[in-house]
Amino acid sequence: MSRLAVLIVLLVILVLGASIGYFNAQPVQFNYLFGTAEFPLIAVLIAAFSIGIVLTIAAVSGRLFSMRLEVGRLRKQLREAEGELRTLRNLPVTSPSETR
């Protein structure tokens, strides 16, 4: 059932995107550093959206990389702590009166 719901949502998004593209096909003047050009409005919107996605991925990737390094460090600490716990569990238990 959830696959069907996801498929319906994706289909609705596709139809909405196509209708936005159809109704925003008129050319607009795009000013950039080296001059101007005319592009369809939907092309400018898609380009701006794509640039935003790329910049977001670039901004997040550094944080993700540092978090992966931290996860590796924490896993190593966990393995060491588990080894120490295993060692302590294997020690014989003695009461204070037996140690004298």
Q: Tell me: the pLDDT tens digits for 35-71?
A: 899 998 888 888 999 999 999 999 999 899 999 999 9
Contact 55, 76 (CB under 8 A): no
Q: Where are the beta strands (DSSP E) in 27-74?
A: 27-32, 35-40
Instruction: Record the pTM.
Output: 0.56
pLDDT reported for residue 80: 95
18-36: average pLDDT? 86
Mean confidence (pLDDT) of the chain: 88
What is the CA 76 to chain-centroid distance, rounded?
Answer: 24
